[in-house]
Structure 1
Amino acid sequence: MSRKVLILVEGHRGSGPLYIQSIQNLGLQPITLSTDPAQYDYLKTENSQAVRVDTDSLAALTHECTGLRAFYDIAGITGFTALDELLYARVGKLCRHFDLPGPNPESIERCCDKFVQRQLLAKAGVPIPAYRLAVNAAEVQSAAAEIGLPVVLKPAVGSGSSGVRLCRDVVELAEHTTYLLGGKHIWRSSPRMLVEEFAQGPHYVVNIMGNEVVGITAAEFGPPPHFVFRQSICPAPLSDDEHERMGNISLSCLRALDLDWGPMCIEFRWTKRGPVVIEVNPRLAGGQPKLIQLAYGVDLVAEHVKLVIGADANLRKTHLHTVASRYLLPDRDGILDWIDGEASAAAVPGVAEVKLYVESKAPIVRKGDYRDCIAHVIAASPDLTRTEAILQQAVDLIDWSITSPPANV
């Protein structure tokens, strides 16, 4: 009898190991298809097979899966967006080709094009920031003038806050336009940018599975002009009315974008005019599954894997704790001389997880997106005040030193 396998397209340093474990817990063998499997360190230690394949090519993925099917019983296929959100659309097409459960690829493609997403949400009456599409510097300047500074300038297709920047004046606007169009930003397609009103207010992430809101997290960013997550609290400190209002708008987003399968997350800002949708993502939010599991006892990764193999997800909450995470961000570029305190931080009662992403002597090159994080700490307890105290105590135990690079001569 052929062994049952579940195929993962690409990986993720945070949730990748969680998927590997969930797949193995179901008695399945995980096989990762990746353009560069070596970039995922956990594949070396998680007893998981990896195959090198061009994941940018649907034809190459289809060919590889067809070959694997000659030796294995493929129970399901899923994947990670990494820096290419459209990869998940290719996953949907693979699922459709092999008659396996998965997302609607057309819905994913519409959602991943943030301009198209904005149009569909606006048509459905969903509250969103003012926006304009631009393809060159002149159009960026014109759009910013119409909307009014400050604005957020970002690629129309992308993820992980890559290429996203708050532009507070004309100088920053010109600088970031030059960055995006000057060859430093990697475009997966022809350059198209969104110029958006800067919606000011607390930031929230709504976590959804299928058409059910599982939990809402409050999030804070590091210093502007970038949008790099610094801290999250789950569940978000919201009133019942506020929670319901965001939940109802979230379901309106799903209807507008024809999303009805698997994990999704929706980012909001609560502004003077109420909740405004910043972005709908047809995937799990980075870092959120661990928070949801600790807060509610719902394992989003395990439940997603169940859906992938055609089983029913169980989203029943078993407890309620307050969970907080802190992402540690460097304040300069250079060489990481040392980083320590991980063991001491992990030993603090109430700390659920401490993870370092870098090792001593690693180069630190800040990019203004999720890749800037060098470590994270997660704490949990029945009480918000206690959780925040535990988190701060643990974070204070972690220290590092970065040697600045020599100045250019």
Structure 2
Amino acid sequence: MRHILVFAKTPYAKTPYDRWLAGSDIVPVVVTASEYAAGYAHLPHVHAFDAYDTNQLVEKTALRLAREFAVEAVFARAEADIVRAAHLRELLGLPGQHVASALAFRDKVVMKDHLAGGAVEVPAYRRLDSAYSALGFIAEHGYPVVIKPVSESGSLGAVIVREEADLDAYLADPWRGAGEIEVFVPGQMYHVDGLVAGGEVVFVHPFRYLNDCLSFRDDDWVANLPLTPQDPSYDRLVKAARAVLAELPTPSQTAFHAEFWITPDDRLVFCEIASRTGGGMISAMVRQAFGIDLDREWLYAECGLPSTLGAPSYRPAGALCIPPRSGVLEHLPTAGQPECVREVALTGTVGQRFNGGVKSGLFLAGYVVGGDTEEDVAANLERVAGWFSDNTRWRPADSSGGTA
């Protein structure tokens, strides 16, 4: 019997590690967040924590368990776990992504330091360690600029500063700690998702965003749609993703989620990359569209298990994430959904109170939507978003009832 340690910041339904490992002699030892503990409760070794992202008892327990079970690998698919898993591997001499690589895929300044001057254009940027660095950068580059944390995901904490009043509003808020400031890049945003196994890119595909990563700020939906190989941007994006992976200290086994802009004057510009699967419904979309479960295949690669990847088949499919509004959810539609829906993930319950969108990867309702062509899928994504909006009811949070 062999063991691996799994940092499992995902619900069991999304990452059923024991089912994926069935038939092997590998047993997962799970460290998870309290809100997901019930889903993993049937497993023999599960340890759950409140305030999971920042609770350092997670690291202490993981180290104890890794030694107790003599784990052979550490698996972590959530952004919050990338660096803590790398530290643990390095401490124990285990294979997989180590700290220098994890930081290059997590810290946006370290990331761009690796890529600046390389094959893919990188926007002007600077580490933001005080108000003075923001003022100096804007004096050099002008408005607009984007200020964001160096290591968050899902556009959490990102601010577009278009003029001095925006800057004053940002500076008047409590200091958020180290961040990054970069020039604002206009254009259509794309993402490229894939898998590296045995040091080779074994799957890669580009997608475009409908709406954008900041739509959640307006409680608006965001969607993802695969590009066809005939799309004029397809080859450019695949080539850019491969170039970025080649210039970074990319681990031999990893999923990746990269983002790029194509500007109105047709420049391809790097945004960021993560050594994990994409958030929201991206993994579900890839599974429905290509028949590939990126998380499972990544786990197999980390464990040295044979891949089940075959030649990808393709059915057009897109992903839709709808954030909550501010208020108490009175009715959540679960019946009568359009027939184009292939997969659903609902994260809220009637009577629950919400404060609007938090980040692009977190949603109240997620859908994978099909169609005969990419154009059909794009229209169906709009149709499902409209159906959900028309059939969902909210009441103000200060009304009677509801939970905080």
TM-score normalized by the length of structure 2: 0.83
Question: Which of 251, 258, 263 is equivalent to 2:249?
Answer: 258
Could you report, residue by residue, the CA deviation over 1:269-316 in whole angstroms, capped at 9, with x for unpaired residues? 111242111001111111322111211122211211111211343543
Question: Which of 260, 265, 273 is equivalent to 1:268?
Answer: 260
- Aligned partner letter, 1:12: T
Q: How does 1:365-384 map to 2 (within 5 A)?
A: 365-366=355-356, 368-370=358-360, 373-384=363-374
Does 2:209 align with 1:203?
A: no
Higher mean alpha-carbon deviation, 159-168 vs 8-17, is at: 8-17
Higher mean alpha-carbon deviation, 279-288 vs 50-59, is at: 50-59
Does 2:340 align with 1:361?
A: no
Report the RMSD for the aligned CA atoms in angstroms. Answer: 3.0
How many aligned residue pairs are there? 384
- Aligned partner letter, 1:158: E
- Aligned partner letter, 1:148: G
Moved over 6 A (4+): none
Could you report, residue by residue, the CA deviation over 1:92-113 in whole angstroms, capped at 9, with x for unpaired residues? 3433555544223321123322
SS of the aligned residue for 1:91 comes to: helix
Is the Cα contact below 8 Å between 2:148 and 2:157 reproduced in 1? Answer: yes
Structure 1: gaps of 5 or more residues: 186-190
- Aligned partner letter, 1:230: W
SS of the aligned residue for 1:285 comes to: coil
Q: How does 1:219-238 map to 2 (within 5 A)?
A: 219-220=209-210, 221=212, 226=217, 230-237=221-228
Is the Cα contact below 8 Å between 1:204 and 1:236 reproduced in 2? Answer: no
Q: Check 1:338–1:201 CA distance in 2 against 1; reply closer, same or farther (3 A cut).
A: same
Report percent identity of matched pairs: 18
Q: How far apart, in 2, do the equivalents of 1:169 and 1:235 lie?
A: 35
Is the Cα contact below 8 Å between 1:263 and 1:282 reproduced in 2? Answer: yes
Q: How far apart, in 2, do the equivalents of 1:98 and 1:314 lie?
A: 29
Q: Check 1:318–1:209 CA distance in 2 against 1; reply closer, same or farther (3 A cut).
A: closer
Could you report, residue by residue, the CA deviation over 1:302-360 in whole angstroms, capped at 9, with x for unpaired residues? 21111121134354333111111221123x42222222x22322xx4332112211111
- Aligned partner letter, 1:301: D
Residue matched to 2:76:
79
Does 2:29 align with 1:31?
A: yes
Residue matched to 1:61:
62
TM-score normalized by the length of structure 1: 0.82
Does 2:404 align with 1:403?
A: no
Q: How far apart, in 2, do the equivalents of 1:135 and 1:302 lie?
A: 39
Q: How far apart, in 2, do the equivalents of 1:279 and 1:308 lie?
A: 23
Does 2:47 align with 1:51?
A: yes
Is the Cα contact below 8 Å between 1:118 and 1:128 reproduced in 2? Answer: yes
- Aligned partner letter, 2:261: R
Deviation at 1:12, TM superposition (A): 2.1
Deviation at 1:267, TM superposition (A): 0.5
Residue matched to 1:344:
336
Is the Cα contact below 8 Å between 1:205 and 1:217 reproduced in 2? Answer: yes
SS of the aligned residue for 2:250 comes to: coil
Residue matched to 1:188:
none
Deviation at 1:25, TM superposition (A): 6.8
Q: How far apart, in 1, do the equivalents of 2:158 and 2:18 lie?
A: 31
- Aligned partner letter, 2:161: C
Q: How far apart, in 1, do the equivalents of 2:348 and 2:393 lie?
A: 12
